[in-house]
Every structure is written in C-alpha cells, then in structure tokens.
C-alpha cells in the first residue's frame, strides 16, 4: 500500500513567520507531487505541484522535493492568518493512471 505521511499538527506559527510543512512518501518511483490547501468546511484546492528535485517558488509558497529521501515540503513565507488551513500532500501514482495518494493533512494555525 502506497503511503503518504504528514504530521497532523496543529502547527502554530506567528504572523509573518515561515511555516514549514513536511511530507514523506513510500513509492520510490513516484514522479509527481502536489500540495493542496483545505479551509474548514471547504474542498481541497491545488496550490503547488512539483516534479523535479529542488525548489519551486510561487509567490509566498516554495515547494521542495528530494526524491532520494522521499521527502517533499512546503514553505510559506510571511505567513498570514488567512493561511490557516489544513495542507494536504499528494503523490501521483507511478502506474500512470492519474491517481494520487493523499496524506491526512497538517493543520496550520497562523497566530496574529
């Protein structure tokens, strides 16, 4: 069974700080990785995708991927109270069937 592990949190950070969210995965041959944000009572929303080792930046968000360590992370710079949500890590199925496996999510709380 392919697994995606995340710390459930809550992760509390003060406003303006960097929030660091981490995820490990079990499938060594996975090639596609995603971060979704889910506000309470809402549906998951795709915020980042990453396919190559290294960093990918989009505004205040940076996704980091290390395939050798089977590790993917999301950094949120200058955290805002509006960033308070649950962040889901998702890993694409290596079999090519467009499935992804979701982690259970990390709840982030940004304290004003």
Give the separation between CA 9 and CA 4, rounded to whole angstroms. Answer: 15
Residue with tokens 């499938």: 27
Binding flag, residue 49, another protein (CB under 8 A): yes
Told to check if 77 binds another protein by CB under 8 A, we report: no
Give exposure, 64-85, as e/b (b: 16+ Cβ within 10 Å).
bbebeebebbbbbeebeeebbb
Name the residue nearer to another protein (CB basis): 37 or 64.
Answer: 37
Residue 8, helix vs strand vs coil: coil
Is residue 46 a contact point for another protein (CB under 8 A)? yes
Binds another protein (CB under 8 A): choice among 19, 44, 107, 110 = 44
3-state DSSP helix/strand/coil percent for the chain, to nearest 5?
Answer: 5, 55, 45
Q: Is 103 near another protein (CB under 8 A)?
A: yes
Fill in the per-residue mask, 15 to 34: x = in contact with another protein (CB under 8 A), - = not in contact: -----------------x-x
Among 12, 58, 80, 99, binds another protein (CB under 8 A): 99
């Amino acid at each position: 069974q392919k697994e995606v592990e995340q710390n459930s949190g809550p992760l509390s950070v003060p406003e303006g700080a960097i929030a660091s969210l981490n995820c490990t995965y079990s499938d060594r041959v996975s090639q596609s990785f995603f971060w979704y944000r889910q506000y309470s009572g809402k549906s998951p929303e795709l915020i980042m995708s990453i396919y190559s080792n290294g960093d990918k930046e989009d505004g205040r968000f940076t996704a980091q991927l290390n395939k050798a360590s089977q590790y993917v992370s999301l950094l949120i710079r200058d955290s805002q109270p509006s960033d308070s949500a649950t962040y889901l890590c998702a890993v694409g199925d290596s079999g090519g069937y467009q499935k992804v496996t979701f982690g259970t999510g990390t709840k982030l709380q940004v304290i004003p």
